[in-house]
Amino acid sequence: MVKDKLNFTNEVKRRRTFAIISHPDAGKTTLTEKFLLYGGAIRSAGSVKSRRSAKYAVSDWMEIEKQRGISVTSSVLQFEYDDFCINILDTPGHQDFSEDTYRTLMAADSAVMVIDCSKGVEEQTKKLFKVCKMRGIPIFTFINKMDRMGKDPFDLLDDIENVLDIKSCPVNWPIGSGKNFKGVYNRSENKIEVFNDGNHGQSIAKTITGDLTDDKFTELLGDDLHEQLKNDIELLDIAGDNFSIDEIQNGNLTPVFFGSALTNFGVEPFLKSFLDITTPPKARPSNLGDINPETSNFSGFIFKIQANMNPAHRDRIAFLRICSGKFEKGMIVNHVQKNKKVKLAQPQQFVAQDRVVVDNAYPGDIIGIHDPGIFNIGDTLCQDGSGLKYAGIPQFAPEHFARISTLNSLKRKQFLKGITQLAQEGAIQVYKRPNIGLEELIIGVVGVLQFDVLEYRLKNEYGVDVSKQLLPYKHIRWIANEDYDTSNLSLTMDSMLVENKDEQPVILFQNEWSIRHILERNKDIELREHS
Ligand code: GDP
């Protein structure tokens, strides 16, 4: 018994569950692949496929989804490294960018942010970062592609602090850049890790340890670079934010590492440092207070539902993030929201590229469970009858809107069924204009590809052809006032009033300016960015 308990505690403590966030092309796939190579989960580079540049027609894309189970196999990768059990959550790139991407971050305990040194903080990183910041999880920064000419490292730090509004603390510091890149200086260990472009990281980087003023450093770097390094470090020591594990773990400070994923430079030191500093699964908020992962009551929540897109089966997989207790195959748990018992018979886990049936899993792990259509995003499963419910997953603001209506009014029922199904999966958000029938709906999505997926699936799974008219709205705000009487609302030409599925009033706007305008015109309303 005691041994079991100790073993369980140890399994929780060695879990590290994180997402890698970046703008497409910054090097997320390359970095993930290097991590997997260190963990021995894959044997050769090129095994992790990037979906970055593929511009498929939607039908091709759907075929690929089906064949590879793309989002399924690449949604989470588990591997072992140095006694840690690591779960990497995938956040898809621009082609597949959708609300799912945001929701995945709800299941992560920390995030690695990859930035291209020649680009700085880019749009998609900004959006994903915002969600991580909202959750207060630790965020580690890897500034990639140092083997190429990049921006001045001080400018990159300014970019992180100003654009993302987080304090930063470089753990290592680059010496030269592009063709003249010599390596990095590790600030806490007083050593230079030497960049050797030629061997593409097949061997461990050579290091030279010594005081900053050491002559060995001049020999290696030459007078100019050595002088610059001394000045840079002095400036960082005086003006930079101090390294603090507490501040990092609370998500107020991001440690910054410079390296090059492609040439495998600085990747392993980064991984080691990240695994040491970041936290194992922490207590999660619920209606019964914070739930400690080490309590014996098994519990978790569903953060993603993936339809298999096989019209014959309507097979769906729900992704469950385990938050407490030990999972055992075949266990019977309570589906709290539905007040039902569910047997978890064929749970799957995703190890490197393979799906395997799991017998046991622990807090921090993600398992895929078969969904006969009973789960919704945000549902809690738990072993005891306490009625424990994890804090819900927020609805993220869609950024693209379209008016969708069925072309054949006799198919109205199938149309609504399909729309309801897709909304339950969280692929789309559905709105209705007041006083307009259900044949015409306003659909909001986070990633524009979701419209194509919607059309494709309505046709293939429900036999419904629709017409789609893209609308110029970009922003959405929920009216927060209780029982607000919308007949008093004074709108502008470039905004539109709709209702969400709970018949709450929501306004769509074309630009930020019109949001301010409406607030000025209607002094009594309070607008919220999330539902
Ligand atoms: P993702 O879209 O963020 O997953 O980016 P990828 O990992 O697919 O990388 C995008 C491109 O950048 C690929 O051509 C990579 O080979 C290249 N790349 C990634 N890391 C580095 C690096 O450290 N240095 C250089 N020069 N290129 C890199």
Looking at residue 460, what is its pLDDT? 84
Give per-residue burial for 60-97: e unless 16+ CB within 10 Å, then b. ebbeebeeebbbbbbbbbbbebeebbbbbbbbbbbbbb
Strand partners, 350: 355
C-alpha of residue 449 to centroid of ligand 1, in Å: 24
147: annotated binding-site residue? yes
**Sign of the CA dihedral 96, 99, 105, 111?**
positive
**What is the pairing mode between strands 15-22 and 110-116?**
parallel
C-alpha of residue 257 to centroid of ligand 1, in Å: 16
* Residue to probe by mutation, ligand 1, list 20, 25, 101, most atoms within 8 Å of CB: 25
Strand partners, 89: 19, 76
Q: Is the pLDDT of residue 161 over 90?
A: yes
Looking at residue 311, what is its pLDDT? 52
Q: Is the pLDDT of residue 63 over 70?
A: no
| Nearest CA, atom 14, ligand 1 | 25
Q: List, in order, residues 6 or more apart from 438 with CB less than 8 Å away.
A: 412, 416, 432
**What is the pairing mode between strands 327-328 and 366-371?**
unpaired
Strand order of the β-sheet with 429-431 is 429-431, 440-445, 400-406, 466-471
Strand partners, 479: 527
The one-letter amino acid code at 319 reads F
Give per-residue burial for 334-369: e unless 16+ CB within 10 Å, then b. bbbbeeeebebeebbbbbbeeeeebeebbbbbbbbb
- The structure's pTM equals 0.86
State pLDDT tens for residues 101-156: 888 899 999 999 999 999 999 988 998 999 999 999 999 999 999 999 999 999 99
Between 212 and 67, whose confidence is greater?
212
Distance CA 330, CA 359 (A): 8
Q: Is 435 left (phi over 0), alpha (psi -120 to 50) or beta?
A: left
Full 3-state SS string of 361-429? ECCCCEEEEEECCCCCCCCEEECCCCCCCECCCCCCCCCEEEEEEECCHHHHHHHHHHHHHHHHCCCCE
30: annotated binding-site residue? no
State pLDDT tens for residues 410-436: 899 999 999 998 888 788 999 999 888
C-alpha of residue 153 to centroid of ligand 1, in Å: 19
Task: Give 93's pLDDT tier (boundaries 50, 70, 90).
Answer: low
Q: Is the pLDDT of residue 341 over 90?
A: yes
Looking at residue 72, what is its pLDDT? 35
Other beta carbons within 10 Å of 513? 11
Task: Give 96's pLDDT tier (boundaries 50, 70, 90).
Answer: low
C-alpha of residue 78 to centroid of ligand 1, in Å: 22
The one-letter amino acid code at 149 reads M
Between 443 and 369, whose confidence is greater?
443
Which of the residue ranges 67-81, 352-366, 383-397 would you say has the lowest mean pLDDT? 67-81
Strand order of the β-sheet with 191-194 is 172-175, 183-186, 191-194, 207-209
Task: Give 44's pLDDT tier (boundaries 50, 70, 90).
Answer: low
331: annotated binding-site residue? no
Task: Give 300's pLDDT tier (boundaries 50, 70, 90).
Answer: very high
Distance CA 12, CA 282 (A): 10
Q: Which residues line ligand 1 (CB under 6 A)?
A: 22, 24-30, 50, 52, 93, 144-145, 147-148, 260-263
Would you give the DSSP letter of residue 13?
Answer: H
Looking at residue 241, what is its pLDDT? 94
Between 46 and 101, whose confidence is greater?
101
Which of the residue ranges 212-216, 248-252, 265-269, 505-509 would you say has the lowest mean pLDDT? 212-216
- Please report the ipTM that was assigned to this predicted complex: 0.99
